[in-house]
Amino acid sequence: MPHWRQKPRQKSRRAAADILRDREARRTAALAACVAEIRDREGREVVTHRLVAERVGVPVQYVQWRFPSLETLMSVATLSSGDGGIPGHPEAVGRLAASR
pLDDT at 65: 94
Domain-embedded: residue 13: no
Q: For 6-16, what is each residue's pLDDT tens digit? A: 777 777 888 99
Domain that holds residue 54: 43-100
Domain-embedded: residue 95: yes
Domain-embedded: residue 15: no
Domain-embedded: residue 54: yes
Domain count across the chain: 1
Give the pTM.
0.66
Integer Cα distance of 44 and 91 in angstroms:
26
Domain-embedded: residue 66: yes
Domain-embedded: residue 36: no
Q: For 21-79, what is each residue's pLDDT tens digit? A: 999 999 999 999 999 999 999 988 999 999 999 999 999 999 999 999 999 999 988 87
Question: 3-state DSSP call for residue 55?
Answer: helix
Closest CA to 24 of 80, 69, 62, 54: 62
Domain-embedded: residue 19: no
Q: With cut-offs at 50, 70 and 90, classify the pLDDT of residue 1.
A: low
Question: 3-state DSSP call for residue 85?
Answer: coil
What are the start-end ranges of the E strands in the chain? Answer: none
Closest CA to 82 of 68, 69, 99: 99
